[in-house]
Amino acid sequence: MATLKAFTMPKWGIEMSEGTISEWMVGENEPFTKGAVLTLVETDKITNEIEAEAAGRFVRILAEAGGTYPVGALLAVLSDGEAAAADIDAFVANFKQADTSFEPDAGAADAKAPPAAAPPPPAAPEIPAGIAISPVALTRAAAAGVDVATIKGSGPGGRITAQDIDQVVRPVASNTLAGPYPLSPDTDVFASPMAKRLSVLHDVPLAGISGTGARGRVRKADVLAQIQPVAPQATVVAPPVSGVTVNAMSSMRRTIARRLTESKATIPHFYIRRRVRADRLLALRAAVQGQRPSVNDYLIRACALALMEVPQVNIQVHGNDIHRFESADIAVAVATEKGLVTPIVTRADERSIVDISAAMQALAQRAKAGKLKPEEFTGGSFSLSNLGGFGVEQFDAIINPPQGAILAVGTARPEPIDDDGAIRIVPVLHLSLSCDHRAIDGADGGRFMAALANLIERPELL
């Protein structure tokens, strides 16, 4: 059987990367002797003959005269005798060209997909004459209403950059200085500076800690591991039980879990409970012609007005700062398939019941469709959670941080009340207010509940 060999584009000198076949001097299956001139190859520097290193023949010529091929490309198949077409086909198919490129990215397994066409750039704003400014900076300046003529640019040649605009527009970050620290005492233990500092700060001796850093250096993480020994996390993998499906929490579920865990763990909750008669509110609602607002819509409005009366409850808590709100932005808990969301009815104190009702319907719909915009569920100065629809009598809610309070409302069920000396049985709502005691005292909560009860019991005020 004939032995097949590759005849490839040679590399002459350091720089040659490709060559052009000027001419084939022998034809396919034309036997030649050692030293015979087989082809002429031209580079940008020279034209050279390639001579046969041994007697043989080309059983297939792949490169065309006049064609340019990279160094190492298969130009023809050499053989010491006749060869079967199938064998030649297989030889050509299996030929793998050596990596001879100068390109830094050459040799990657596959050619990369061509880059997707870039979207057309937005129309560039007109750059004022005589001012060197980047288009992005100009757009940003225009949006912020900044006069670019007054800004000293920090870019090349004094060009105004987007950062320069930001430096003018952005508020100064609150800069609480940490100040100088005492120098950590020297130690013979091979430890990073931060590891040394933490060892002093947390009174953890460095000696004995085995360092995980380069050359056994004790790292920050090694010291931290001593401070908070990582308890073997109770990854209690329950034995497989038939009839139980295990589903990983969705990211939304995980967010709810994290936020509420944080709230319950870090906010000192206290609860204020109160019954209110709802008969008049329900009667008022029943009298509405056409599309009736829900009881919850009335409660949103009532909460809003009560918050205006007792602004101590209309707050957010941020670290050591209490943010007081001028309007009542009320987050309303809405159950969706994926979990709890709290769209916000903004400025509920300024809106009519009808307006609130329409807004709430739209928000609830978007919430259930997962189409709320971030600004529609972030912020809020107070939360309302109503489980009355499920026949729940009463419950306590977890504060929705950073808000200061949340009102939990149960169903309206008939109960005896003292109506001006007479015992009457009317629908009664059980309200429970959860307050953040860091910012809200019992008296504030009590006043709020009194105001709220008054509004619910005298719904004509709403």
Residues known to be catalytic: 437
Q: Hey, what are 370's tokens?
A: 């997962």
Please give the span between the terminal C-alpha atoms of the chain, in angstroms, as a whole number: 102
Among 23, 44, 99, 166, binds another protein (CB under 8 A): 166
Shorter beta-carbon distance to another protein: residue 220 or 280? 220
b/e for 386-425, b at 16 or more Cβ within 10 A? bbbeeeeebeebbbbbbbbbbbbbbbbeeeebeeeeeeee
Q: Are 42 and 67 in contact (CB under 8 A)?
A: no
Q: Does 274 bind another protein (CB under 8 A)?
A: no
Among 173, 234, 238, 265, binds another protein (CB under 8 A): 173
Residue 240 CA neighbour count, 13 Å, CB half: 1
- Exposed (0-12), middle (13-18) or buried (19+): which is 384, by Cβ within 10 Å? buried
Shorter beta-carbon distance to another protein: residue 92 or 224? 224
Cβ at position 175, least distance to another protein in Å: 6
Which residues are within 8 A (CB) of 223 and not within 5 positions of it... i.e. 6 or more apart? 191, 195, 198, 199, 202, 204, 206, 209
Shorter beta-carbon distance to another protein: residue 190 or 377? 190
Among 3, 167, 365, 378, binds another protein (CB under 8 A): 167
Stretch that binds another protein, among 207-215, 319-327, 346-354, 376-384 (CB under 8 A): 207-215
CA 368 to chain centre: 21
Q: Does 152 bind another protein (CB under 8 A)?
A: no
Shorter beta-carbon distance to another protein: residue 13 or 179? 179
Site for another protein in 120-149 (CB under 8 A): none
Single-letter amino acid, residue 266: T
Cβ at position 14, least distance to another protein in Å: 18
Q: Are 462 and 301 in contact (CB under 8 A)?
A: yes
Q: Are 398 and 237 in contact (CB under 8 A)?
A: no
Cβ at position 167, least distance to another protein in Å: 5
Stretch that binds another protein, among 172-180, 229-237, 303-311, 327-335 (CB under 8 A): 172-180
Q: Centre a 10 Å sphere on the Cβ of residue 202 and count the other Cβ atoms it contains.
A: 12
Q: Are 451 and 462 in contact (CB under 8 A)?
A: no
In angstroms, what CA-CA distances link 181 with 194, 195, 198, 211, 426? 12, 15, 12, 24, 67
Among 34, 45, 170, 413, binds another protein (CB under 8 A): 170
Cβ at position 217, least distance to another protein in Å: 7
Cβ at position 115, least distance to another protein in Å: 24
Q: Does 22 bind another protein (CB under 8 A)?
A: no
| Nearest-angstrom CA–CA distance, 222 and 229 | 10
Among 5, 11, 159, 197, binds another protein (CB under 8 A): 197
Single-letter amino acid, residue 210: S
> Within 5-151, where are the H helices?
85-94, 135-144
Cβ at position 178, least distance to another protein in Å: 3
Query: CA nearest 412: which of 283, 311, 251?
Result: 283
Site for another protein in 388-417 (CB under 8 A): none
Query: Which positions from 211 to 250 touch another protein by CB under 8 A, shown as an x/- string?
Result: --xxx-x-xx------------------------------
The DSSP bridge pattern shows strands 57-61 and 74-79 to be antiparallel
Shorter beta-carbon distance to another protein: residue 167 or 250? 167
Cβ at position 134, least distance to another protein in Å: 16
Query: Which positions from 177 to 196 touch another protein by CB under 8 A, shown as an x/- string?
Result: xxxxxxxx-----x-xxx-x
Shorter beta-carbon distance to another protein: residue 213 or 311? 213
Among 1, 172, 244, 369, binds another protein (CB under 8 A): 172
Cβ at position 401, least distance to another protein in Å: 23
Residue 409 CA neighbour count, 13 Å, CB half: 28
Shorter beta-carbon distance to another protein: residue 35 or 158? 158
**Total site size for another protein, rule CB under 8 A:** 28
Q: Are 445 and 272 in contact (CB under 8 A)?
A: yes
Question: Which residues of the chain form contacts with another protein (CB under 8 A)?
Answer: 163, 166-167, 170-173, 175, 177-184, 190, 192-194, 196-197, 213-215, 217, 219-220
